[in-house]
Amino acid sequence: MTEKRKISLTVNGESREVDVEPRWLLSDVLRHELGLTGTHVGCEHGVCGCCTVLIDGAPARSCLALAVTIDGSEITTVEGIAEEDGRLHPLQESFQKHHGLQCGFCTPGFLMTAMPFWADAEDMTDDELRKEISGQLCRCTGYSGILASIRGAAAIARERQGER
């Protein structure tokens, strides 16, 4: 009944084969089997948003996906967003610049949630931005800094363009 099954995932651009029990959550497979502990596990029932990763490009809860069911998918975790030379992603740098984290536990979830829209965030209203991140909880309640960080990322990306 607990027989393992081999699944293939592309994790942060790299092909990985993992033997999983069907009941294993993606969050646990990432952390325990692949050693990617940047994905944080908070509530384990989809409410806190800390474990959010990209599944085939779209933010989703890794604690609400059985790893076996997303066999063949592409996963991006917080470990996969920095540039190849190790330089932080503009969104990460912006979180640093605008004090978007305090204890940092929720940060990977916020970063992954903002991946699809950070480039447009400058033009979004507060309400629109809040709606997009409404599924993420920050128990330090540092939401103002988080909004500023998401908004500030595009400017950092532009500065970098200018450097090149």
Partner 1 sequence: MKPPRFEYHRPSTRDEVTSLLAEHGDEAKILAGGQSLVPMLNFRLAHPGHLIDINHLEGESTEPEMNDRWVTFDPLVRHVGAERSAIVEEELPLLFEALRYVAHPAIRTRGTIVGSVAHSDPAAEIPAVLTALGGEMVARSARGQRTLHSDDCFVGPLVNGLEQDEWMEVVRFPRRGPGDGFAFEEFSRRSGDYALCGVAAVARPTPGGMSVSLAYLGVGVTPQSVEVSARPMAEYQHPSFLGELEHLVAAELKPYSDIHATGAYKLFLAVRLGTKAARRAVAMGVPG
Interacting residues toward partner 1 by CB under 8 A: 1-2, 5, 21-23, 25, 28, 44-46, 49, 52, 55, 58-61, 63-66, 68-71, 113, 130-132, 134-135
Count of alpha carbons within 13 angstroms of residue 41, beta-carbon side: 16
Please, what is the minimum distance in Å from the beta carbon of residue 73 to partner 1? 10
Please, what is the minimum distance in Å from the beta carbon of residue 65 to partner 1? 7
Edge-to-edge, what's the strand order for the sheet holding 5-11? 14-20, 5-11, 74-76, 52-55, 58-61
Helix 143-163 and helix 90-97: axis angle, to 10°?
A: 130
- Cβ-based nearer residue to partner 1, 153 or 156: 153
> In the numeric block, which tokens belong to residue 143?
């939401």
Please, what is the minimum distance in Å from the beta carbon of residue 104 to partner 1? 19
Please, what is the minimum distance in Å from the beta carbon of residue 164 to partner 1? 32
- Cβ-based nearer residue to partner 1, 38 or 46: 46
Provide the b/e sequence for 114-148 (b: ≥16 CB within 10 Å).
bbeebeebeebeeeebeebbeebbbeeebbebbbb
Please, what is the minimum distance in Å from the beta carbon of residue 74 to partner 1? 13
The rounded distance, in Å, linking the Cα atoms of 34 and 37 is 8
- Cβ-based nearer residue to partner 1, 4 or 160: 4
- Cβ-based nearer residue to partner 1, 51 or 153: 51
Q: DSSP assignment, residue 146?
A: H
- Cβ-based nearer residue to partner 1, 49 or 142: 49
Are 61 and 137 in contact, with CB atoms under 8 Å apart? no
